[in-house]
Amino acid sequence: TLPRTMRAAADYITRIIDDRGKQNYLYFPYEDRDSKSYNMLRHAGTTYALAQAYDRFRDPVYKEACERSFEYMLSRTQLREDPGPWGPNYRFIIEDRKAKLGGSGLALVAMTTYTEATGDERYMENMKEFARFIVRMQDPETGKLGSYFDYGPTAEVPDRDSVYYPGEAIYGLGKMY
> Which pLDDT belongs to residue 86?
58
Q: Inter-axis angle of helices 40-57 and 60-75, to 10 degrees?
A: 160
With a cut of 70, say whether residue 32 has pLDDT above it. yes
Each residue's pLDDT tens digit, 55-82: 999 999 999 999 999 999 999 999 998 7
Distance CA 27, CA 114 (A): 27
Q: What is the DSSP string of 91-140?
A: EEEEETTEEEHHHHHHHHHHHHHHHHHH---TTHHHHHHHHHHHHHTB-T
**Local confidence band at 87 (pLDDT 50, 70, 90 cut-offs):** low
Alpha helices of the chain — where are they, by DSSP H?
2-15, 40-57, 60-75, 101-118, 124-136, 165-176
Rg (CA), the chain: 17
